[in-house]
A and B are shown apart, each in its own frame.
Chain A
Amino acid sequence: MSQTLSKTSGTKKNTANHASLELINEVQQFLYREARLLDAEQFRDWLGMLTEDIHYWMPYRYQRYRRNEKDPTIYEASYFNDSLDDLDKRVRRTEMDTCRSEDPASRFAHVITNIEVELTENSDELTVYSLTSVHRNMNEDDGHVMIGHREDLLRRVNSELKIARRKIILDQNIFTNKKLNTFL
Chain B
Amino acid sequence: MNAITPNPFDYHQFVNTEEGWIDRRIFWEETIYQRELEQIFAKAWQFVAHDSMIPETNDFYTTYMGEDGVIVSRQKDGSVNVFLNSCPHRGNKICLADEGNARNFSCNYHGWGFSPGGKLLGLPNEQIVYDDGDIDLERWGPRQARVDTYKGLIFATFDEEAPSLEEFLGDFRWYLDIMLDHDEGGTEFIGGGIKSYINANWKFGIENFIGDAYHGAWTHDSGARALMGESLPVPEPAGSYQASMNGHGWEFGTDGFYDLAILGQPKILEYYEKLKPKMAERLGELRATIFGSLASVAMFPNCSFLPGVQAFRVWLPRGPRKLELRTWTIVNKNMPDEIKQAFNIACNQTFNPAGIFEMDDGDNWEGNTSINKGVVTRGEKLHYGCGMKRRIEHSELPGVIYESQYSEANQRQFYQRWADLMSARSWDDVPTRYTPRYAGKPTRPE
Contact = CB atoms under 8 A, between A and B. Distances in A.
A96 B221 contact: yes
Given A79-B348, A92-B226, A93-B226, A64 B191 contact: no
B223 A174 contact: no
A74 B366 CA distance: 31
B324 A178 contact: no
A176 to B, nearest CB: 5
B197 A76 contact: no
Contacts of A64: 97-100
B320 interface: no
B172 interface: no
19 contacts: A60-B193, A64-B98, A64-B100, A75-B190, A75-B344, A76-B192, A77-B327, A77-B328, A79-B354, A82-B345, A89-B227, A93-B223, A96-B221, A96-B226, A98-B222, A99-B222, A101-B219, A173-B98, A178-B366
B443 interface: no
A37 to B, nearest CB: 18
A13 interface: no
B198 interface: yes
Given A174-B196, A175-B196, A89 B353 contact: no
B194 interface: yes
Given A60-B194, A86-B349, A94-B222, 17 more contacts: A58-B354, A60-B192, A62-B98, A63-B96, A63-B98, A64-B98, A67-B100, A68-B97, A77-B348, A81-B348, A90-B226, A96-B222, A101-B363, A176-B197, A177-B197, A178-B363, A179-B362
B312 to A, nearest CB: 11
Interface string B182-193: 000000001111
B199 interface: yes
A181 interface: yes
A80 interface: yes
Instruction: Enumerate the 5 nearest inter-chain pairs by beta-carbon distance, A residue then B residue, closest first.
Output: A178-B362, A96-B222, A68-B100, A77-B192, A99-B222
Interface string B213-245: 000000101110111000000000000000000
A178 B353 contact: yes
B349 A62 contact: no
Nearest to B345: A81
Interface of A: 58, 60, 62-65, 67-68, 73-82, 86, 89-90, 92-101, 139, 173-181
Contacts of B29: none
Interface in B349-401: 349, 352-354, 356, 358-366
B225 A98 contact: yes
Contacts of B226: 89-90, 92-93, 95-96
A175 B100 contact: no
B101 interface: yes
Contact of A75 (B341, B349, B356): B341
> Number of contact residues on B: which range applies?
35 or more
- Majority secondary structure of chain B interface residues (helix, strand, loop or mixed): mixed
Given A64-B99, A77-B192, A181-B359, A174 B197 contact: yes
A98 B221 contact: yes
A62 B192 contact: yes
A95 B97 CA distance: 40
Which one of B340, B356, B362, B363 has the highest number of Cβ atoms from chain A below 10 Å of its Cβ? Answer: B363
Nearest to B195: A174
A28 to B, nearest CB: 27
Interface string B37-71: 00000000000000000000000000000000000
B85 interface: no
B254 interface: no
A76 B345 CA distance: 9
Interface in B284-298: none
Contact of B354 (A68, A80, A97, A101): A80
B369 to A, nearest CB: 11
B354 A180 contact: yes
B411 interface: no
Interface string B318-354: 0000001001110000000000110011001100111
Nearest to A77: B192
B356 A175 contact: no
B99 A101 contact: no
Interface in B71-91: none
A94 B362 CA distance: 16
